[in-house]
Chains A and B, each alone.
Chain A
Amino acid sequence: MPIHKHDAAESPLDATPDTSVTDRRSVLRGAAGLSALALGSGLVGMESAQAASAATTSFAIAVLPDTQFYSRYATTDEGQQFQAHYGSTPFAAQTGWIAQNAVAYNIPFAIHLGDVVDQQGKPNQWAVADAAMKQLETAGVPYAILAGNHDVITDYDYHQPSDQNSGTDAQRNLANEPYLKWFPASRAARQATFRERDSSGFHEYHLFQAHGVTFMVLSLSWRISDAGIAWARSVIARNPSVPVILANHQLLNIANDGVSPLETDYGLMLWNRLIRDNDQIFMTLNGHHHGAAHLRKFNDFGNEVHQMVVDYQMDYQGGNAMMRLYEVDFTNNKIDVMSFSPWVVQKPKATLNQFDFAERTEAGNRFSIAINFKKRFAGFQRFKPTLSVNGAPILPRVRTDLLANYTEPAVVAPVPPADVNDFPSVAETYAHWRAPAGIAEGQVVQVGDVLPDVAGGNDMRRAALSGPAQVGDVVWSTDRHRLSSAAGSVRFQNTDKTVKRLNAFLTAAGASVNGRSFWNGYTVEAFVKIPANWDATKHAWCNMLGRQGNRGNVPGGYQGGDPEASSVLFAISSLREVQWEVVPASNARNAQTNWSGEVIRNTWFHVAIVNDPATATTTMYVEGAPVLRNVANAATGTRSQATPLPWILGAGWWDGVLDDGFFGSIGELRLVGKPLPADKWLTARRS
């Protein structure tokens, strides 16, 4: 059976590199009974030398994906959240680790993939990044850096050729760009590997050597202009024998399955205008899109170009300092990839939970790419590395050293509910809506049907249809979160904001919960699932919970933005973050907002938002773990209207009408008038 190229490209790192499968031609060579030593003088010499010494000739490149939340939430503006919880910060932990270990692990170069900061207009965030990157400079570890979309003033995406006329480096007022102030060419030039920036100052290239082979890192900021592309081409042309690693902020994306590569318009533009006809580019790295994926493409010379995207920013703690090492192994003709956090192993043990990983070992984060370097570089150089006489594989050493004094946190397995009443009952429950017993999968919820409040007195009913909504758009389902004790869930389907198709449940006009302002704080919980076909164009900002009435009208003199919106926004953002935004009771002048990381489609999750007046905090937990972007100096409660108005489940509110309908399933939703510890949440069991 023929062996496809794509079958042979990537293998789990644990697998012993097998020359019989890493290259299709090797398979056929083996079938023909030919020995490797019969092939090509350069390879012969190298293999012979290696066989004699058994040494590994390799080096590692350190890669830092989007650090934006590390920069942001280490600032005093955001309450120095890392320092407060852990006594250390993730960005500094990353660069500190590289600085301390570059020699020991033969790391000649580091690459930052952009989105250095989250908010380019906040100097404190740049200061955090500045200090972190300075650790590399002090240690003499050269690095390439580039600007991501969060690092530039104008953040326009690319979709078509005409977009080159706006939002690129060519249209910027360079004097105003903070990136060029904090990371100017003069700073880059202090590194021995630096060669040149383009005339805009956003793009740069470096040459570094490893085992006698010179590599280029061509580092292109988001978004590159036509002139920038011409500069990049000229750089490659002026170094015609050098293999090139192309670093970008955006290029490759990840498909909805969270695993498969997905090409972007911007990446395809770069492919067609820069990559495909420059054989020297053998590898591209980018961040920006949340997750990890790898795509092997073939250029105009039939050679492989390995495109890899990685960005952990939507994970726990804005990425938990996860970074990468790419071990380029000349001896075994492969590149091994390791994704690890030098910060997790430093954290106080008491802070560790099930979301802390010293290393990510799933296939997309730990893998090996077969590259016959002599063959791959043959079109532009005679590959003759200086062989190591005593080198050992790098990543296994990193792994051993990293985990030497680290113990994975013990995780207490949660207990599934024994029956529909197996949850902690709390006296201060204002409302607890859940699907009724006896429902059938797919059973249509008729207009006027009840979504019961099992705490009593605040039942919701399905609202009348409006616009293109159909009665079949809302159904009961027996599907539920594994820790929910409810009989099932209510599913909102066919929602489409582009045509105003939405559905909702409402409390009755006189329901007691309508007038609650939560003066003693609150705990709001929900079990939620958004489906696999959740699409931002139709479902962005879809609301699970809201209150009728414009928030600009609540007592207390609201002065913030969007006064037409509800005083409670419990929604899924365009980036699939959970948004909890309320107008507090104790200070109603501005709304306060918590944001989760990116939630996964087609997977149930539990959300708890706890507002604690004693600590002046509002903390969101997803699946039990606190999110990063919480509210420091939180005000108390969430203000009702002077004349109480109904709560909304399944839609939001905008200036007098229901808006932004939910697309997905809600298992239970409970409002409690005080902060609760986790052992009183709906994920716990009755005592």
Chain B
Amino acid sequence: MVQRILCAALAALAIPAHADQFQATGGIFNGSDYGSRYVGAGGNAPLTSQALGEVVDGGHLAFDAFGFYNSGVGSLGQARQVELLGGNVFRFFDTFTNTGTTAVTTTLNFFGNLGSDGDERVSHSGGGLIVSCTDDGTSQCTAQPVLALVSGNNGLGQAALTPDRYNVRYTVSLAPGQSLSLLNFAFLASDADGPTAADVSLAQATGLALLSAPRLEGLSPQQVASIANYTLSPVPEPANWMLALAGLAGIGLWQRRSRRAD
């Protein structure tokens, strides 16, 4: 456990709150309002059918409606813990339980409607990470944040982005009474002074860091143990160290650029 905490701390070091990065806003729907955290059931609000725990906006038009399961849940029980962590990272922790008397095999679809409105520019896709931004029409990112969308590191999640719809398919089997949890992240990178190429690099570095060392702060050991879409390393791998260092190096680059701008 100590090693895991160390790993998470290193990942956190890789994505410190930077003075020149914008601050994401919660926009997490809790059934009647929008805040920075939602803990409760899955599903939809009465009457309007708006998804509980979805993120609207997230800051600078990042999302139209992001981070909910729009198919496959069926009869499974669903408990959500959605929150905006420090460093512009949204974490979606969902626990599914087979409350029936027969085994259930289903494909759960984690969904996000991105704010690009179809003008998507994907710079990285694979291995549980998609990095994307809104194309301004000249193959450059607009002022909307660059997104790092992280769906797990063990291949359980199959992620795709078409055209501005983020879908991650998780095919799972649950025996009666059995539970499992799925962990998803969305990181938003946006320099407060406007889009830079470094935002893409930061998003990619942070996404890779979250893949190798997912941020688990605030989750109980039982919750962590139930995560199905990550293989959690007992000790930091050399590659993780390298990624963390790469992230720190990236921050250093922005700091230098920012100082020049000041």
Contact = CB atoms under 8 A, between A and B. Distances in A.
B125 interface: no
Chain B, interface size category, equals 35 or more
Contact of B48 (A2, A6, A42, A378): A6
A275 to B, nearest CB: 10
Contact of B65 (A44, A261, A296, A301): A301
A4 interface: yes
Interface in B4-32: 22, 25, 27, 32
B116 interface: yes
Given A298-B44, A302-B65, A303-B65, A32 B22 contact: yes
Interface in B43-59: 44, 47-51, 54, 56-57, 59
A185 to B, nearest CB: 34
Interface stretch (A33-41, A54-62, A134-142, A525-533): A33-41
Contact of B117 (A271, A299, A374): A374
Nearest to B162: A379
Contacts of B61: 25, 28-29, 39
A237 B225 CA distance: 42
Contact of B164 (A43, A298, A379): A379
Interface stretch (B129-137, B151-159, B207-215): B129-137
27 contacts: A3-B34, A5-B48, A5-B50, A6-B48, A25-B61, A29-B60, A29-B61, A32-B60, A34-B60, A38-B143, A40-B134, A40-B136, A41-B119, A42-B118, A261-B47, A263-B47, A297-B48, A297-B49, A297-B50, A298-B44, A298-B49, A301-B70, A303-B64, A375-B64, A378-B117, A378-B118, A378-B164
Nearest to B115: A25
A34 B68 CA distance: 28
B142 interface: yes
A379 B57 CA distance: 17
Nearest to B54: A302
Contact of A40 (B35, B49, B116): B116
Nearest to A261: B47
Contacts of A5: 48, 50, 56
A300 interface: yes
Given A28-B57, A38-B142, A297-B48, A302 B113 contact: yes
B149 to A, nearest CB: 15
A129 to B, nearest CB: 35
Interface string A434-478: 000000000000000000000000000000000000000000000
Given A5-B56, A39-B143, 14 more contacts: A4-B34, A25-B61, A25-B115, A29-B61, A40-B117, A40-B136, A41-B137, A297-B49, A302-B50, A302-B51, A302-B113, A378-B117, A379-B165, A382-B118
Interface in A19-33: 24-25, 28-29, 32
A379 B71 contact: no
Contacts of A38: 142-143
A38 B25 CA distance: 19
A285 interface: no
B48 A302 contact: no
Contacts of B33: 2, 4
A29 B59 CA distance: 8
A276 interface: yes
| Secondary structure of the B contact surface, majority rule | loop
Best-buried of B22, B32, B56, B68 by chain A (most CB within 10 Å)? B56
B113 A379 contact: yes
A302 B64 contact: yes
Interface of A: 2-6, 24-25, 28-29, 32, 34, 38-44, 261, 263, 271, 276-277, 295-303, 372, 374-375, 378-379, 382
A295 B47 contact: yes
Interface in B90-146: 111, 113, 115-119, 134-137, 142-144
A-B complex: 7 closest residue pairs judged by Cβ atoms: A302-B65, A41-B137, A378-B118, A378-B117, A2-B34, A300-B70, A298-B50
Given A25-B115, A34-B60, A300 B143 contact: no
B136 A41 contact: yes
B62 to A, nearest CB: 9
Contacts of B117: 40, 42-43, 372, 374-375, 378
Contacts of B163: 378-379
Nearest to B57: A25
B143 A302 contact: no
Contacts of A263: 47
B55 to A, nearest CB: 10
Given A297-B49, A298-B51, A378-B163, A39 B59 contact: no
B248 to A, nearest CB: 27
A280 to B, nearest CB: 13
Nearest to A44: B137
Contacts of A3: 34
B258 to A, nearest CB: 17
Contacts of B27: 2, 28
Contacts of A2: 27, 33-35
A372 to B, nearest CB: 8
A276 B56 CA distance: 19
A588 to B, nearest CB: 52
Contacts of B54: 302
A295 B71 CA distance: 23
Contacts of A300: 70-71, 111
A375 B118 CA distance: 8
A412 B63 CA distance: 56
A382 B27 CA distance: 27
Nearest to A272: B49
Contacts of B22: 32
A302 B68 contact: yes
A396 B111 CA distance: 41
B56 A298 contact: no
B23 to A, nearest CB: 10
Contacts of A44: 137
Contacts of B60: 28-29, 32, 34
A361 to B, nearest CB: 26
Given A40-B142, A301-B113, A24 B56 contact: yes
Contacts of B116: 40, 378
Nearest to A295: B47
B110 to A, nearest CB: 12
Contacts of A34: 60, 143
A382 B137 CA distance: 13
A32 B136 CA distance: 18
Interface string B54-87: 1011011100111010110000000000000000
Nearest to A262: B47
A303 B59 CA distance: 18
Contacts of A39: 61, 134, 142-144
B115 A301 contact: no
Contacts of A375: 64, 117
Q: Which of A5, A39, A44, A372 has the most CB of B within 10 A?
A: A39
A276 B163 CA distance: 19
A264 to B, nearest CB: 13
B184 to A, nearest CB: 15
Contact of A25 (B56, B135, B165): B56
A252 to B, nearest CB: 11
A296 B48 contact: yes
A474 B172 CA distance: 63
A32 B25 CA distance: 11
Which of B49, B111, B116, B165 has its CB near the most chain A CB atoms (within 10 A)?
B49
A372 B135 CA distance: 18
A24 B119 CA distance: 20
A4 B57 CA distance: 12
Contacts of A382: 118
Contacts of A42: 117-119
B50 A28 contact: no
B108 to A, nearest CB: 13
Contacts of A6: 48
A2 B35 CA distance: 8
Nearest to A302: B65
